[in-house]
Structures are given as structure tokens and as C-alpha cells.
Amino acid sequence: MLKEINENAQSLRHTCGAFFKSNLRRLKEQLDGADKIIIVGCGTAYNSGLVAKRWFEGCGCTLVDVEVASEVRYFPPKVTKSTLVLAVSQSGETADTVEAASILRGMGAYVVAITNVDYSAITKIADQVVNVVAGCEICVAATKSYIGQLTSLYMLSQLKKGTADCGFAVLNQIAQSVESVVQNDELIDKISSLCAKSSAVFFLGRGIDYAVAVEGSLKLKEVSYIFSDGYPAGELKHGTLALVDEKTLGIIIITHVQLLEKCQSTVEQIVSRHGRVVVITTLQGVLEKLKGKAECVLTLPEADENLSPFLTATAVQLIAYKTAVKLGRNPDRPRNLAKSVTVE
Ligand code: G6P
């Protein structure tokens, strides 16, 4: 798992380069003509869609839905001949995602497969393929393929927006920052010790940070077996706050400067119930603001909030990995899970 997290920047760069081998003219036509975009996937692939929804909406797409593939099988959403489906799957073999793509295509939608594996089942169903070039991913918990999926989805959103290089330049810059997150992991070590001592860990954030929080929670539960949930920060007070005590840890992701104050109040809500708090941020000056409240503030390189998921996701992957190791669990072979689920 660690080796694969260390390859995040490479996955980003290679996927970026490969994007231009896709038929961009056809993709652009579909993006511009779409009445709705539906992103489908399972697990981490689904979670990449939660991030991408924010990107597409920011680029003027009015209707963007993210669907869990296993639900689509029995409760397919409404589609028309102008609906664009982005079916995301690292392996391209996940039965639920392949079936969902097939059903939606049968209903008239145009299906683009976003996958790390050439000639996989999903590529045979799709109208078009966008390649993720993460390289072979062996660990059950997806890491570098998630970064590759985010890269493809970001570039598609920029293609829709009309950005000349589809985001190639800014993505290559962010790849350097991803490398520095992996290299400076002293604080991540401290955070994983806090996780290892916790009975439950809640990942919280707003907007795009919420989407990464969901993936952070999935990674942690997959490899450490600690109970975890990913939550919109503002929802905490509507139920989950009842679970907060001295054994719980809140990991709050903050990358929107305009939401900093709101997130500070989330920190206070947890601390006043004796819960412990860690903050992951790309904003400067947060450490000073939260002194005496958060146990630890991990300040990542400064980044545009839209590109921040590449950094915050790398950090949460490392936290999950280190927590599993601290608890003596083998992150490469998590119990009960399979890399690719080819049955329903
Ligand atoms: C399994 C794996 C997850 C993965 C999901 C989707 O459940 O354990 O890590 O995210 O399948 O896999 P896919 O290959 O379709 O991305």
C-alpha cells in the first residue's frame, strides 16, 4: 500500500499525458450536449465521483448525479439519449459497475468508461474509454488509482469548461505537491497514533472536502478496522455528535478559505464534548487559529481548493496505512475484502 501511495504523483502525471490519446472531439461533443451527467462506480471509484460532481458543477453542468452502481441495477435513474454516463472502475471488472453501465447504455445513455485496465469488461460495453494510467495496483485498498481517476475526471471537467490544456499544467504542478506530502510524513505519523487509540474516527468536511472525507473514512476502515464515517461537517450536530466522547477523533479537512470559520465551530463542537480533533488543511495560518483546540494541524502545500483533493486524499491514505501498521494489521491484505468483486 505504501509503495502504491508513493506512486500517486506518477499516476497523476501518466494519466494526464494519456488523456490526450482519447477522442477529445467526441468527448467534448458529449459533454456539451449532455442534459445530465451520471457518474457510477463502487467503493473508491464511487468516491472519486463525489469529488468530480463538484468539478463538473463548477464548470457549468447543471445536473450531475453520482450513483452507487449496485443501486442502479434495480433502481436505474432516468436517462435520455443526451445523458452522459461516466462509469468509473479501477479494474473494469466490478460486476455491479459493468452491469450498471450496460443497463444505462441500453436505456439510451452514452457511456464513457474510466478505467485503469485496458480491454477489461467495462471497455467492451462503453461507447468510449478514458484511460487511467496508475500502473498495476495490487493492494486491495485503492490509492494511486483513485488519484488517477480524479485526474481523468478533472481533465474531463476542464474539457467541458474549454480550458485549452484540459488542466494539464496545473495538474503537473500539483503532482509536485503530492510528492512533498508523501515525503513529509512526521505529523501523519502522530495523527495515525491518535487514530490507533480511538474507538471511532469521523472524517468531516464541506463541499469538496466532504467528498475526500468519505474516501478517508473508507480507507481507514478498510485497512485498520476502526469504525469510521465520512460526514458533511455541518451535519455533525444533527445526530453524530451524540457519539462524540473522549475516545473519538474528528479529522476535519479544511481547504475553502471562506468556510474556515464554519469549520472552526465544528472543531469547538467536538472539543467541548471531550472529543479529540485533527485538522488537515491547505490554508496557511490555521495552526495559530486553532492552538489549544486541535491536537494536531497538518498543513499541506497551498493549493487551489479544486485541486486540493490530490493532496488531502494522499494524506488520508497515509494516515490509514500508518494506523493499520501501528495496530499490527496487514494493510496489504485486509480481512474480508477482495480487490475486484466480479459477482453481484
Ligand atoms: C472492491 C475493492 C475496493 C474498490 C471497489 C471498486 O470493493 O475492495 O477497493 O474501490 O471494489 O473496484 P473497481 O475495480 O470497480 O474500482
* Spatial CA neighbour of 102 closest among 40, 35, 149: 40
Residue 285 has pLDDT above 90, yes or no: no
Cβ burial, residue 250 (10 Å; 0-12/13-18/19+): buried
Mutate to test the pocket of ligand 1, among 91, 117, 136 (most ligand atoms within 8 A of CB): 91
* Residues near 275 by beta carbon (within 8 Å), at least 6 away in sequence: 244, 245, 246, 248, 249, 250
Check residue 266 and give left, alpha or beta (phi > 0: left; psi -120 to 50: alpha): alpha
CB 111 within 8 A of CB 124: no
Give the span between the Cα atoms of 168 and 304, in whole angstroms.
15
Residue 112 has pLDDT above 90, yes or no: yes
SS3 for 135-155 is: CCCCCCCCCHHHHHHHHHHHH
pTM of the predicted protein model: 0.96
> Coil, strand, or helix at residue 249?
strand
Mean pLDDT (the chain) is 95
Q: Is there an atom of ligand 1 within 6 Å of 115 CB?
A: no
Q: Is there an atom of ligand 1 within 6 Å of 138 CB?
A: no
Specify the pLDDT at position 343: 80
Helices vs strands, H then E, count in the chain: 14, 10
CB 134 within 8 A of CB 148: yes
Q: Which residue owns the Cα nearest ligand 1 atom 11?
A: 340
**C-alpha 314 to ligand 1 mean position (Å):** 18
Specify the pLDDT at position 31: 96
Mutate to test the pocket of ligand 1, among 4, 39, 44, 342 (most ligand atoms within 8 A of CB): 44
Cβ burial, residue 329 (10 Å; 0-12/13-18/19+): middle
Alpha carbon distance, N-terminus to C-terminus of the chain? 26
Q: Is there an atom of ligand 1 within 6 Å of 337 CB?
A: yes
**C-alpha 42 to ligand 1 mean position (Å):** 6
Residue 340 has pLDDT above 90, yes or no: no
Residue 50 has pLDDT above 90, yes or no: yes
Give the span between the Cα atoms of 218 and 197, in whole angstroms.
18
Specify the pLDDT at position 185: 81
Given the DSSP bridges, would you call strands 110-115 and 296-299 parallel, antiparallel or unpaired?
unpaired
Q: Which residue owns the Cα nearest ligand 1 atom 4?
A: 43
Q: Is there an atom of ligand 1 within 6 Å of 91 CB?
A: yes
* Tens-place pLDDT, residues 215-246: 999 999 999 999 999 999 999 889 888 999 99
Q: What type of residue is 126? A: A
- Output the CA–CA distances (angstroms, integers) from residue 59 to 67, 121, 170, 244, in the order listed: 20, 30, 16, 37
